[in-house]
Amino acid sequence: MSDKTLHIRILTPDGTLHEGAAQAVFLPGALSPFEVLPGHAPIISALSAGRIRVVAEEEQCFPVRGGVVKVKDNEIIACVETA
């Protein structure tokens, strides 16, 4: 995988909501919103209600009620409950 690309998977109890490449991802962190860019340090964070914004060729937003996210090696896995 390119060092300038992220791979994101958004999982819900019903299955995969979104999977694909991204240039940046904005997440509603439990303490404050944060952005993930390629090369981001590994992190596990709780998510609060808000939206996950995925910036790729097209920008997409996914409303969520909460969840958790893991970021490691340019891979983002978000396990969420949809709004």
Rounded CA-CA distance 18/21 in Å is 10
Q: Mean pLDDT across the stretch 39-57?
A: 97
Q: Mean pLDDT across the stretch 54-71?
A: 97
Q: Who's near 15: CB < 8 A, 6+ residues apart?
A: none
Cα R_g (the chain), whole angstroms: 11
pTM of the model: 0.93
For 1-36, what is each residue's pLDDT tens digit? 457 899 999 999 999 999 999 999 999 999 999 999
Per-residue confidence (pLDDT) for residue 83, from 0 to 100: 72
For 3-12, what is each residue's pLDDT tens digit? 789 999 999 9
Secondary structure, 3-state, the chain? CCCCCEEEEEEECCEEEEEEEECEEEECECCCCEEECCCCCCEEEEECCEEEEEECCCEEEEEEEEEEEEEECCEEEEEEEEC
